[in-house]
Structure 1
Amino acid sequence: MNNSWYDILFMKLLRKNPSLLLEQCKRSKEIMEDISTKQYEIVRQFMKMLQSRSPLYLVKYLKSLGKNNAAYFFRIQSQTHRNMLSDLRQIRKMRKEKKIKKLSDYVEKIMSQYYVKKTNRVMCWKFEFINEVYNILALALSDQYYAPNKFNVDEPSALLDLLKLPIDKTKDITPFVFGDRSTYQEGTDQDIEGRKFRKLLTHFELRIRFAKFHIEKCYLYHQVASKHLSQGHYDECCFYARLSIKESRECNNALWNFLSIMLIVKANAVQYKVERTKEALDMAVDILEHINSPELNKFIDLCLHCNEEEYLLRLLAISSRISKTSKASSAYKNDE
């Protein structure tokens, strides 16, 4: 109403004002009293209509709407910042305790459910936070590669033991059943691990589609390659590991490049591809020139030595086999 309330108060008091309603004017007194009352009721009715359309609490709310929005945004921003610091402390603690599996699951949980929905306006340091989280995870994964104090290089499975890979991992072949749809879906409903793997694969592929940063794509490709390696899909593992290497070069991250190369080394070592394993290890040696880590250098040197021993054993086995066949053929000719 602003300053109109003066007029409304004047009309309210005018109904019983003795200066207007004179006792001497008997005819005009009733007329003036009736007019002033009716006009005040009209004004009062319109005032209630205006108040119902725009109540006082709404006016007050609209006046303070900007302040309320700013205060709410500040609370969300402050809470997000506190969550970032808390998660970083938790991630560093897990790395210090060497809980690699738990750390990997925790990083995937927070990065795929909470922080992926936050905008740069809410997370002022979003890129720096993502970079820090994935770099800590890469450091934790690289801590797994170390040279044991007492390690026998002469064993046939020395390289697999060094890479912590199973020596013989046989998978049950799904029997083919004509007309059964599960045959074409890579496993039956009883294959819980297979269903879990396909679900994770779909989840990572969806995240790759919407990933903005190269280091995030590098991490996602590495995870997909790691899952394929655990399922025995070695060609797919090498394919996604090369994609991860490509993304790591885009973001100039040598550590993720090294981790992706190690997946290729594992895939080739499990298949006993000695020459390809050596090529991948040579790539790792080139990458380690940009990483100041004596422990990783020692580990790769030991891997090269194990691979060389395996190569020599294979040559000896082939030469002995050739000599046996040649002796058998010569003996057969002599008998003839």
Structure 2
Amino acid sequence: MWTVAVLIREGISLFEFGVTAEVFGIDRSEAGLPLVDYRVCSDGGPGRVESKHRPSVCVESTHGLEGLADADVVIVSATLPSTGNSAEHRAIREAHANGALVVSLCSGAFILAETGVLDGLSASTHWLFEDELARRFPLVDVVSANLFTDTGRVVTGAGTAAAIDTCLHVVRRELGAAAASTIAKRMVTAPLRHGGQQQFVDWPSRVDAAGTDRGDTGLAETLDWAKARLGTNLDLAALAERSALSTRQLTRRFIAQVGTTPLKWVTHQRVQRAQELLENTDLSIDQIGHDVGYASATQLREHFRALVGTTPSAYRQSFNLGA
């Protein structure tokens, strides 16, 4: 059984903690997902931990810090900015040394930084805390505005809603794209926003200065059109023509509304589709590369490794689907 242990402490933020419970704490075995041993851990627990909210809401931990020791994933949930205590630091360092994937959500990055596991690594946190994290921990390379940063054995997520992206990313890299898509569909959220996207985007108003509803000013139709044609030429000119915009206008609107550039978005969509085909079909890697729009398997491998951190062959073998 896959074990996910969440460290909570006084001043816990209920939203980020609730995301961990929604993603990892629900039995979805009927949908083909593995059972998860979901542990809520606190120093001195089991016991009640008070939230930062007023009036206060308490969360009941199920384990003490020993619950982190043999976990596959350890998540330090968001709290009032704190560097934690020595017992928490020791438990996190030991779990990391034992091979756990260590994750922080929002201000949880401060506790990870204090343990030393972020030294020399890039890390994300809520944009409000970026300067403070960089000032207090100069050995940590604080990445500005990312949704999350994955450095291999440590994943750090930004604030609030980015906890959803971070937790779904953990599911995707550990259990596969199909598992992440299943959970995202149940949560009625987007299955994939890559970590390099911005923490905040500007959504244009439908109503102009005169109070006239101008209709949908977004890119939804173009995005749907492109996702249905990943195997075709989706260069900047083709996307701009479909959107009835200049390439410069399209790029500006993509960055504002989607949080990334058009071509980076296309690459993310192609790699995600390749993940699904690797899991669920026995198509060759050459064929999958062609189907998602790459001229060769070499191109697919380059983009796949850059975004997923492994090769298409290793990914298929890991999830034992379509092999």
TM-score range, shorter chain: under 0.3
**TM-score, with length taken from structure 2:** 0.24
**TM-score, with length taken from structure 1:** 0.23
Which structure's residues are more often helix, by fraction? 1
Structure having the higher Rg: 1
